[in-house]
Amino acid sequence: MATSKSRPSAATRRRVERTAGDLGAAAVQQMESDHEWYRALPAEERSWVGLVAQAGIKSFIEWFSGSQDHAHVTADVFGTAPRELTRSISLGQTLDLMRTVVDVVERESMHLASRGDETKVREAVLRYSREIAFSVAEVYAHAAEARGAWDARLEALVVDAVIRGEADDSMQSRASALGWGTTTDVCVIVGSTPGTGTARVVDELHRGAKRHGVEVLVAIHGRRIVSIVGRVTDALTTASHLAEHFGEGPIVVGPVVPHLYAAGRSARAALSGHTAAPAWPTAPRPVRSDDLLAERALLGDLPARAALVSSVYAPLSASGGGNLLETAAAYLDGGLGLEGTSRALFVHTNTVRYRLGKIADTIGYDLTDPHDAQTVRLALAYGRVAPEPSGRLTRGTGTAALEL
């Protein structure tokens, strides 16, 4: 609190008070002259900034003419402008605005000060400028906090909509508000929540994504973290970079899709894979959902079963006049190895070896690898009972009576 000895005289205070309108006009004129960003603002926003400047001068004069206690400049100054103004001008620009106002007030007030009051006026302006600087920081901190909470809610709603496959207008609007309107090359990564809790994991994932040049939307679903990642070039590499922010256990990466509105497919694959991953204890971390087709199919994932048939059974059936399918079945079902398979098929061992290499080239699975062999074995089983065009299930060469 200022003492009577440190306060300017009553005459000085009255002269300053009478010039409030002139000070406001001078401040706006100075901003127009000094700041290009102010000149570039739309007329409505320039008007709001001008009102903030005038309110700041008014608040200063009330404080200057009164007891000069702590100035409640947050309500008095920034309450005149809508919250959206903090989105239009940055913290640095607001500080420029307040600095201009203070400079104008100091310059003009010095001309109005009575003899001996010059130093007191300067000290009063400095005290007020300190108060208003703190208030600027407080306003932007509150705005950032409120915006962060709102963005977190929007983020969770968008992730939930993607999981449910609801790519409607409301999701598009929310995604656009989060800056995801044009984001491409999207995949979904699912992992476990860390044992230390989830309070910081969302922020950490955002920071990690920014470091590695990707965008991310995150939501906590119970013991799972569901992350939608955009602008990926290599999904598995991106998941490896972010793996430290997940808890222990599998991390499953869904397929990359063109944009957010197609991410439901990636989400379903990643969630299904995360549920099925314990069936493959030695799976890499992270692992692609497509590498868990067999485990997902065992849990009743119909798209995984269809993928096994279309990517394994069908190509083997169509290649080499059926020789590859016959060789795969003999090698896997008989468990006879190279020699036993060659005897069963009445071909040379080198022919079996050649066909195994051809199988790996055709479907991408190596039958000598235990997990690949298990995947192909299940694919053959599902292929044998896949629906025929008639809508019946086939078993071997016969037709089951069970209709689809």
DSSP for 245-271? GS-SS--EEPPPEEEGGGHHHHHHHHH
Section 361-379 average pLDDT: 94
Say if strands 287-288 and 252-253 run parallel, antiparallel, or are unpaired.
parallel
Token digits of residue 185: 């090359």
Please report, for the domain that includes residue 287, its CATH number: 3.30.70.2730
Q: What is the DSSP letter of 387?
A: B
Spatial distance between the Cα atoms of 391 and 372, rounded to a whole number of angstroms: 30
Domain boundaries, position 329: 302-403
Cis (ω within 30 of 0) for the bond into 286? yes
Spatial distance between the Cα atoms of 323 and 328, rounded to a whole number of angstroms: 9
pLDDT band at 370 (very low <50, low <70, confident <90, very high): very high
104 or 357, which is more confident:
357
Considering only CA atoms, which of 371, 349, 351, 367 is closest in space to residue 359?
A: 367
**Same-domain check for residues 376 and 248:** no
Quote the percentage of the chain above a pLDDT of 70: 76
**Same-domain check for residues 58 and 126:** yes
Q: Is residue 163 part of a domain?
A: no
Token digits of residue 332: 């896997």
Query: What amino acid occupies position 204?
Result: E
Please report, for the domain that includes residue 136, its CATH number: 1.10.490
**Burial of 162 from C-beta contacts in 10 A (0-12 / 13-18 / 19+):** buried
Token digits of residue 334: 């008989």
Q: Is residue 169 part of a domain?
A: no
**Same-domain check for residues 65 and 137:** yes
**Same-domain check for residues 282 and 195:** yes
Provide the CB-side half-sphere exposure for 184 (13 A, CA). Answer: 2
Token digits of residue 36: 């290009």
DSSP E strand stretches across 20-173: none
Q: Is 213 helix (H, G, I), strand (E, B) or coil?
A: coil
Domain stop point among 295, 327, 351:
295
**Tally of structural domains, the chain:** 3
pLDDT band at 176 (very low <50, low <70, confident <90, very high): confident
Spatial distance between the Cα atoms of 63 and 81, rounded to a whole number of angstroms: 20
Q: Is residue 168 part of a domain?
A: no
Q: What phi, psi does 6 have (nearest 5°)? A: -90, -10
**Same-domain check for residues 310 and 379:** yes
Spatial distance between the Cα atoms of 200 and 209, rounded to a whole number of angstroms: 14
**Same-domain check for residues 23 and 52:** yes
Section 246-256 average pLDDT: 95
**Same-domain check for residues 15 and 141:** yes
Whether the pLDDT of residue 160 is over 80: the answer is yes
Query: What amino acid occupies position 92?
Result: G
Max avg pLDDT among 93-97, 134-138, 148-152: 93-97
Whether the pLDDT of residue 287 is over 60: the answer is yes
∠ CA(333), CA(335), CA(336), 5° rounding? 120
Please report, for the domain that includes residue 382, its CATH number: 1.10.10.2840
Whether the pLDDT of residue 166 is over 90: the answer is no
DSSP E strand stretches across 64-196: 184-192
At residue 66, the pLDDT reads 64
Q: Are 46 and 38 in contact, with CB atoms under 8 Å apart?
A: yes
Q: Is residue 166 part of a domain?
A: no
Query: What amino acid occupies position 218?
Result: V
Considering only CA atoms, which of 84, 280, 277, 103 is closest in space to residue 192?
A: 277
**Same-domain check for residues 251 and 317:** no
pTM comes to 0.64
- The residue behind tokens 């409640």 is 72
Whole-number average pLDDT of the chain: 79
Section 349-358 average pLDDT: 92
Domain stop point among 257, 273, 295:
295
**Same-domain check for residues 26 and 126:** yes
Q: Is residue 137 part of a domain?
A: yes
Q: Is residue 31 part of a domain?
A: yes
At residue 374, the pLDDT reads 94
Domain stop point among 124, 146, 168:
146
**Same-domain check for residues 242 and 354:** no
**Burial of 340 from C-beta contacts in 10 A (0-12 / 13-18 / 19+):** middle
Beta bridge partners of 184: 259
Query: What amino acid occupies position 386?
Result: A
At residue 294, the pLDDT reads 96
Token digits of residue 205: 């994932």
Residue 119, Cα to own-chain centre: how many angstroms?
53
Max avg pLDDT among 128-142, 164-178, 179-193, 276-290: 276-290
